[in-house]
Structure 1
Amino acid sequence: MNLLAIDTSTDACSVALLSGGELSGHCRVEPRGHTRLIMPMVRQLLAEQGLAMADLDALAFAAGPGSFTGLRIATGVIQGLAWGLELPVVPVSSLQAVALELAQNHDAGEGDGMAVAFDARMDEVYWGCFQLVDGLPQLLAPERVCPPEQVSLPEGCSRWLAGGSGWRYADCIPDSVTGSVNPPNPALAPDARFVARLAAVAWQQGKAVPAAQAQPVYLRDEVTWKKLPGR
C-alpha cells in the first residue's frame, strides 16, 4: 500500500508517505505558510521515493481538532487530491496522532495513558485522553474543548504521559491531573508520520471515506469574535 498523509492543523506543516511498510516524511514549522508549502512538499516526497500521484492507494489527513485555518487547508487539499485521483480518505484525530508520538517517545507499554492538550485559544484547550491498547492509543472519553480548569483524567491507566501545546496552561490545570502525569511536553505537535501510521490501521479496518465525507473536526461549534475598538 502507498498511503500519503498530510497535517496542517498547527504551526507545523508536515507530509508523510507509507510505502511498502517504509515510512518517510518532511516537516516544516512556518506559521501561515501552509498553503504555499503543502503541495511542493507532497511532490518532493513522492519524487524522493520514485512514486507518482497515480501510484497512491489512499490518502490521510489530520482532521482536527486544531487551527481552524489549518484544518480548512488540509481538508481542501485532501479532498481535491481524492476527487482528482479517485482515492479513499482516512481522517485521523490530531490528538490521537500526538498520543501515538508520546507513546513512542516514552516507550509506553500496554495500559499506559496519554493526556493530550492543544491550545484552543480563548483560554480553552482541546483535550483527549487515550490508553495504549495493542500498541495503539485508544480514546477513553470523547474529545472536547473546555477551560483548562475543567480537564480530568479517566481511571484505569498505569501511568500518564502528557504533551501538546495546551500544557502551557499547566498552572491552570487541576492538581489532581498535573500530579498524575509525567512532566508534560508543550512543544509536541501533530506529525504526518504518526497520522500515516494510524491511517494505515484504519484503512485496513475499512474506515476510509469518500472525498465528500472527509471533513474537519472543530469541536468548538461557535467562535466568539471580539470586535476591534472603533469598528
Structure 2
Amino acid sequence: MNILAIETSTQACSAALLCDAQVSQRYQVAPRGHGDLILGMIDQLLREADLTPTRLTAVAFGRGPGAFTGVRVAASVAQGIAYAADLPVVPVSTLAALALAGYRHNAYQAVLCATDARMGEVYWGAYQVQQGVVSLLGDECVCRPEAVPVPGPGEWYGVGNGWAVYAGQLPDVLTHVPVAEMTEWLPRAEEVALLAKHEFEQGRTVAADQAVPVYLRDNVAQKKQNYKSLS
C-alpha cells in the first residue's frame, strides 16, 4: 500500500509517503508559500521511493478545519494528482491527526484538540484513541475558547497550538485537563497518512471531484479588524 498524504491547513506545510508500514515525511513551518513548498516535498518523497503517482494506492489530504487558503491548497493538489493518476482520495480531519499525534508520542487516549482559528476562536474536537484508531466524540466545531463543549470527566489531554494561543482561557473552562506537553503542535502529514490507511482499509474513500475541504465557518471570507490570513 502506497499512500501520499498532504497537510497544509495551518502555518505548517508537510507531505508524507506511507509505503506499507514505513512513513517518510517532509515538514516545514512556513506561514506562506504552501503551494510552492508542497509540490517540491511531494516530488522529493516520490523520487526517493522510486515511485510515480500511477503506482500510488491513494492520495490523502488534511481536509480541515484550518486556514481557508491552506485547506484549499491541500484539496486542490490532492485532486490534481488523483485525477491524473485515476486514484481514490481519502479526506482526513486535521484535528483527528492531532489526536493521533498525541497517542503516538505520549500515549494519550482521551484527547482535546484545539488549533488557533484566529479571530479569537479555536477549532475544537474531542477524541478517543485506542490502538491507533481515532474516534470523534460529538462534533468538531469552531468557537470562542470559553465556549468549547466540555466533555465528561476523565483523564483528558490537550493537544494543538490553540492551547498555547489561548492558554489564559481554555484552562479556566476545563480545569480538569492536565497541562499537556504538545501545546505548540500542528497537524502533520505523517498522521494524515496513517489515518488514511485505516480509512482506505474500511473503504472510506471519495472520487477526486468529491475531495472537498471542511471549513466549519459558515462564512469563510469573514474578516475582522486586525485579522490576517495564514496564507
TM-score, length-scaled by structure 2: 0.92
Partner of 2:45: 45
Partner of 1:164: 160
Partner of 2:88: 88
Question: Aligned partners of 1:58 and 1:182: how far apart in 2?
Answer: 37
Q: Secondary structure at the match of 2:178?
A: coil
Gaps of 5+ in 2: 227-231
What's the CA shift for 1:175? 2.7
Question: Aligned partners of 2:75 and 2:129: how far apart in 1?
Answer: 28
Question: Aligned partners of 1:121 and 1:24: how far apart in 2?
Answer: 31
What's the CA shift for 1:131? 0.8
The letter for the 2-side match of 1:68 is F
Question: Aligned partners of 1:29 and 1:197: how far apart in 2?
Answer: 21
Question: Aligned partners of 1:124 and 1:172: how far apart in 2?
Answer: 11
Structure-2 change in CA distance of 1:227 and 1:189 (3 Å): closer
The letter for the 1-side match of 2:94 is S
2:130 to 115, 130, 133: 133
Residues 14-59 of structure 1 deviation map (CA, whole Å, 9 limit, x = unaligned): 1111112211111011111111111111010111111112211100
Aligned residue runs from structure 1 range 1-231, under 5 A: 1-108=1-108, 112-155=109-152, 157=154, 159-167=155-163, 168-173=165-170, 175-183=172-180, 185-222=182-219, 223-226=221-224
Q: Quote the sequence identity (%).
A: 46
Deviates more, 1:169-178 or 1:21-30: 169-178
What's the CA shift for 1:153? 3.0
Kept in 1: contact 2:114–2:122 (CA 8 A): yes
Question: Aligned partners of 1:217 and 1:87: how far apart in 2?
Answer: 21
Kept in 1: contact 2:171–2:177 (CA 8 A): no
The letter for the 1-side match of 2:161 is S
Kept in 1: contact 2:119–2:224 (CA 8 A): no
Q: Secondary structure at the match of 2:96?
A: helix
Question: Aligned partners of 1:25 and 1:227: how far apart in 2?
Answer: 37
Kept in 1: contact 2:88–2:207 (CA 8 A): yes
Question: Aligned partners of 2:132 and 2:36: how far apart in 1?
Answer: 35
Structure-2 change in CA distance of 1:217 and 1:16 (3 Å): same
Question: Aligned partners of 2:135 and 2:187: how far apart in 1?
Answer: 16
Kept in 1: contact 2:146–2:173 (CA 8 A): no
Structure-2 change in CA distance of 1:153 and 1:113 (3 Å): farther
Question: Aligned partners of 2:217 and 2:92: how far apart in 1?
Answer: 17
Gaps of 5+ in 1: none
Moved over 4 A (4+): none
The letter for the 2-side match of 1:194 is E
Question: Aligned partners of 1:204 and 1:74: how far apart in 2?
Answer: 22
What's the CA shift for 1:200? 0.3
Question: Aligned partners of 1:84 and 1:126: how far apart in 2?
Answer: 33
Question: Aligned partners of 2:88 and 2:118: how far apart in 1?
Answer: 32
